[in-house]
Amino acid sequence: MTPVLAVSDVHKSFGGIKAVDGVSFHVNEGEILGLIGPNGCGKSTLFNCILGQLVPSSGEVKVDGRITTGMRPCDINRLGVSRTFQLLQVFPKLSVRENLILAGQEHRGNMLSRLFGASDAGVGAEADKLIAFFKLDHLAHEQAGGLSYGQQKLLDAAMAFIAGPRLVLLDEPAGGVNLTMLGDLKDRLFAVNRELGVTLVVIEHNMEFVMSLCSRVVVMAEGRVLAVGAPDEVRANPAVIEAYLGH
Amino acid sequence: MSATFKWLRIVLGVAIVAALILVPMTLNRYGLYILSQWCVMTIAAMGLNLTLGYAGQISLAQGAFVGIGAYSGAILVTSGYPLILALVVAILLCFAIGWLLGYPALRVQHHYLAFVTLAFSTLAFLLFRNEEWLTNGIYGISNITRPEIFGYRTNRPLPFYYVCLGSLAIVSLAVWWLIRSPWGRAFQALRENPVRALSLGVDTRHYTLMAFAIGSALGGIAGVLYAPLTQYVDPIPFGLTLSLDLLLMVIVGGAGFFFGPFVGAAIAVLLPEWLRFTEGYYLMLYALAVILLLIYSPTGILGIADRILTERRTKAASAMRAAAQSKLEQPNLEQSKLETVR
């Protein structure tokens, strides 16, 4: 079976700094893959290379067997790959519902139908469903900028799911989210994975969160892949322990 | 939003439209000229509001597009073509040039983009002034007749005011439609967070270019009306000052608010007239008023209204929450009430 995402030998340097230094891994259909590693090891840069925010210096990224290196982020997104960012990235002056409609509208119809057709581009019902799914009902018409941090995180995640993606890359979804909401978030991520069959790749520093969520974990250090395996295997790997705890 | 408030808005809207239709009947030639100018400037400012207020792309070239529209109108009308043809030509021309002017915005933003558009503005002014074979240079083009619409001549001030007002109404409806369409949402996404928008499938290149093209085309429409309004077109009014004036209208009215340009243009066009009694001091007073306004409310006049409305809504929401809370705290009371009803 073709993997949903295949990354082969991706390099990215900024001047003399090798942020990503020959990373290869793949993501199978339906799995939840964790991507962990110390700060500055190149996880987010790798995400940006996969999704077109950055162009890799060399190497290749394939989505469903199709080469996507060099494509624009909006075109990669329309192939059914979406993401969240490490820092909050909602549209503060739009309402929660408008944020979600925006996240879905470009996947429906064409430029003309989006100009002359319905104001919600036909994704209003979908937006309402996701608002309920992520338990944001009471906030649907509030400006996104007025929500609490945790609520914005949920909205941010919801936006990645509205267009019915096959693959979602989440950059630190649990960062700064309190314990109760963390449970909610994990529960929602399991649900989209099982019920909607969405494949997930998650960058996260919260070990407990990653280990309980993911079926497989890729560990990065200094721009390279250090280890790949099931959570328990990885946790017991001496190289991983050293990378995290230092000498 | 409460029902009474909604009604209040409808009544206010109808009253303003009725006043715009009826009051001018009592005005003299000069008053009508000023009001017609307000209509024209509002259309131009709405274009800039689209580019700057909604899509977040700064432009100091809107005045140049009004100039391109005005010269299209002047040249074609004095050559014997109907104004409606000039309108089509100006829209297409400004749309195309605006589209091209959008390309720098794909690479540079903010102050740098301002400088690029400023350079374009200067270039356009030099063309108006120096290309005498086309524009008659500093002597300008005079004797621009006003159009005949459905066989009705509009050369008197009142009928031509209605032409301007009607045009404003049509443009307003079109812009209203555009803003509430998915395109309008994408424009705002461009302003708020282009990187995130791009990651959500929003083709930011297309929308940036469109924001410039459509905004510029509206400037062109305003220009086509300007030519028969003044019946004389020369390069001077279309220098950088007009672009800055239009920018001021958008900012003072409230950038990114639909009615911002209406208010902004009213202030820029009417306030100098009302302050005329102060004679030499009026520009100083005007400048002072603008400075004070922007210190008090950087989001413009409609920004003040928006703030008040938001405060009211927040208060209402917290009152509702408090009510819900107190209900939760007295479940027995509710229960007993239900029992008695049964």
Over residues B109-155, the pLDDT tens digits come to: 888 999 999 999 999 999 999 999 999 989 999 999 999 888 888 88
- Number of compact structural domains in chain A: 2
Is A72 in Cβ contact with B199 (below 8 Å)? no
Region B158-166 average pLDDT: 96
Residue B79 sits at the chain A interface (C-beta within 8 Å) = no
Q: Is B253 in contact with B267 (CB distance < 8 Å)?
A: yes
Is B195 in Cβ contact with A91 (below 8 Å)? no
Q: How far apart are the first and last CA of chain A?
A: 41
Which among B180, B197, B199 has the least Cβ separation from residue A83?
B199
**Is residue A33 one of the residues assigned to a domain?**
yes
Residues of B in contact with A93 (CB under 8 A): 188, 192, 256
**Is residue A159 one of the residues assigned to a domain?**
no
Give the domain extent around A26: 5-80+165-245
**A128 and A30 part of one domain:** no
Residue B233 DSSP class: E
Task: Decide which of A151, A181, A200 is a domain's last residue.
Answer: A151
- For residue A32, what is the domain's CATH number? 3.40.50.300
Residues of A in contact with B196 (CB under 8 A): 85, 89-91
- B50 Cα to chain A: minimum distance (Å): 15
Most B CBs within 10 A among A51, A74, A82, hence the mutation to make, goes to A74
Is A91 in Cβ contact with B188 (below 8 Å)? yes
pLDDT tier at B338 (50, 70, 90 boundaries)? Answer: very low
Is A74 in Cβ contact with B202 (below 8 Å)? yes
CA nearest neighbour of A243 among A40, A8, A18: A40
Mean pLDDT, each 10-residue run in order, chain A (247 residues): 92 92 94 92 93 94 94 94 89 95 93 90 92 90 89 90 94 84 87 92 90 93 92 89 71
What is the pTM for the complete model shown? 0.90
Strands B232-233 and A17-27: unpaired
**Is residue A176 one of the residues assigned to a domain?**
yes
Residue A103 sits at the chain B interface (C-beta within 8 Å) = yes
Specify the amino acid at residue B163. V
**A95 and A58 part of one domain:** no
**A186 and A241 part of one domain:** yes
Burial letters B48-86, b for 16+ CB under 10 A, else e? bbbbbbbbbbbbbbbbbbbbbbbbbbbbbbbeeeebeeb
pLDDT tier at B322 (50, 70, 90 boundaries)? Answer: confident
**Is residue A72 one of the residues assigned to a domain?**
yes
Task: Decide which of A151, A178, A197 is a domain's last residue.
Answer: A151
Identify the pLDDT of residue B342. 44
**Is residue A225 one of the residues assigned to a domain?**
yes
Quote the strand ranges of chain B, DSSP E.
Answer: 141-142, 148-149, 152-153, 232-233
- A166 Cα to chain B: minimum distance (Å): 14
Residue B196 sits at the chain A interface (C-beta within 8 Å) = yes
**A75 and A142 part of one domain:** no
> What does the pLDDT look like over B192-230, one tens digit per residue?
999 999 999 999 999 999 999 999 999 999 999 999 999
**A12 and A71 part of one domain:** yes
**A73 and A112 part of one domain:** no
Residues of B in contact with A105 (CB under 8 A): 182, 185-186
A94 token code pair: 């739009």
pLDDT tier at B2 (50, 70, 90 boundaries)? Answer: low
**A171 and A241 part of one domain:** yes
Identify the pLDDT of residue B170. 98
- A133 Cα to chain B: minimum distance (Å): 20
> What does the pLDDT look like over B88-108, one tens digit per residue?
999 999 999 999 999 998 988
Is B199 in Cβ contact with A119 (below 8 Å)? no
Is B202 in Cβ contact with A106 (below 8 Å)? yes
**Is residue A158 one of the residues assigned to a domain?**
no
Identify the pLDDT of residue B230. 95
Is B201 in Cβ contact with A102 (below 8 Å)? no
**A120 and A174 part of one domain:** no
Residue A89 sits at the chain B interface (C-beta within 8 Å) = yes
**A74 and A98 part of one domain:** no
**Is residue A156 one of the residues assigned to a domain?**
no
ipTM of the complex: 0.91
Distances (CA, A) of A210 to A5, A46, B315: 19, 18, 41
**A114 and A184 part of one domain:** no
**A177 and A235 part of one domain:** yes
Which among B181, B199, B202 has the least Cβ separation from residue A51?
B199
Task: Decide which of A118, A151, A184 is a domain's last residue.
Answer: A151
CA nearest neighbour of B249 among B52, B110, B95: B52
Residues of A in contact with B205 (CB under 8 A): 72
**Is residue A160 one of the residues assigned to a domain?**
no
Cα-Cα-Cα-Cα dihedral sign, residues A195, A197, A198, A199: positive
**A142 and A170 part of one domain:** no
Strands A216-221 and A224-229: antiparallel
